[in-house]
A = this chain, B = another copy of it.
């Protein structure tokens, strides 16, 4: 059931992104190339977890305009995609493949990839600032959360920490690892939940619940990622398994061990569930997403 929800979101988001990134008429070939690179990057697939969270949070708070929530979800996915383009660059993780396809700088070139990452970022903010048919104050409230999560105090700070820790073979402790992950992956996952709520006109209590839920989800997401790197094979993962260990990278598994990591996930799952009580039955979809992410390890 949750997998069919995720599959449907994924299909819908691909269509919305395709429509958003349709190039305007009369472009020169270089401008056409830039739009092609933006489209290539967003259509590379992925689980579309962030749009699913936007939609689930929106519906939990009583929102009923699915197309509206998908449009906001597409904007979040565009920011997520731009961080992946950059993460794969030679000066960062230097990956040639992502989900079995050449990364954007390989399919095009580095300059085009960087400009496409900028383009996706601006376009995402423009959707929220100028295109969502909601009151001005709602758009500004959404931008506040979106821009903060995307800033040097959010994903960019997390990426900077991650890169320097890897370079310096720095072994982080649990608190440092949590801080890194809260920024690098947690900030945008949490923002997806909060923005879905804001779009539906959520109450303060609902927004607090979404923040707590998003925080638990972000950590579960990262811990299970670290566990899968140890337990799964490359084919199941869709990326090279055992990469963290091979790079001597600090992970939740190296910090806590497998058993404590499993227990931590179970604890976070319970915390996430508790935070959803304010939504009563309407929180069921959010809980199922949480359980789905947690179950990757069970």
Contacts and interface: CB of A to CB of B under 8 A. Distances in A.
B122 A147 contact: yes
Given A125-B125, A147-B130, A34 B156 contact: yes
A236 interface: no
A18 to B, nearest CB: 15
Contacts of A35: 152
A114 B136 contact: no
A156 B123 CA distance: 11
Nearest to A165: B30
A119 interface: yes
A66 interface: no
Which of A27, A34, A92 gathers most chain B CB within 10 Å? A34
A110 B91 contact: yes
- Give the interface residue-count category, chain A: 35 or more
Contacts of A159: 115
Interface stretch (A53-61, A137-145, A272-280): A137-145
A110 B161 CA distance: 15
Contacts of A110: 91
Contacts of A130: 140, 143-144, 147
A99 interface: no
A67 interface: no
A191 to B, nearest CB: 12
A251 interface: no
B126 A160 contact: no
A245 interface: no
A93 B139 CA distance: 37
B109 A156 contact: no
A271 B148 CA distance: 42
Interface string A249-274: 00000000000000000000000000
Contact of A92 (B111, B152, B161, B176): B111
A110 B114 CA distance: 12
Nearest to A21: B152
Contact of A33 (B24, B91, B140, B164): B164
B122 A31 contact: no
Contacts of A34: 152, 156-157, 160
Given A92-B111, A143-B130, A31 B161 contact: yes
23 contacts: A28-B161, A30-B164, A33-B160, A34-B156, A34-B157, A34-B160, A35-B152, A38-B152, A89-B114, A91-B109, A92-B111, A114-B114, A117-B118, A121-B121, A123-B152, A125-B147, A129-B129, A129-B143, A130-B143, A136-B136, A136-B137, A136-B140, A143-B143
